[in-house]
Amino acid sequence: MLTQKMIGGSYKFSDLLKEKKTKKKKLKSDPSVLGYKANKSNLNIIMKGSDGNLYKNKRYKKTKRWFRINSKNNNKKKK
């Protein structure tokens, strides 16, 4: 795949055939995805995120953020 940077330069043929590796983005799963923004919500409330984990709204520097307090995997009983 020729990109704009490659035009006019000398490249190995094998480099042209290779696909660029793209990084997978992590999907957000905190309550802000569901429409509950941290800055607009009250402090110290606990909500469930879209992934099933519990999140608490805490102060972070001068703003607020959602912090995970409970993992869905920790709730399963160990045998």
Predicted confidence at residue 59, as pLDDT, reads: 93
Predicted confidence at residue 14, as pLDDT, reads: 75
Q: The tokens of 73 are what?
A: 């995997």
pTM of the model: 0.57
Predicted confidence at residue 50, as pLDDT, reads: 85
Predicted confidence at residue 64, as pLDDT, reads: 92
Mean pLDDT by 10 residues, the chain (79 residues): 65 72 77 84 88 89 88 58
What ranges do the domains of the chain cover?
27-75
Contact call for residues 50 and 29 (beta carbons, < 8 A)? yes
Predicted confidence at residue 63, as pLDDT, reads: 92
Element (H, E) at 15: helix 13-17
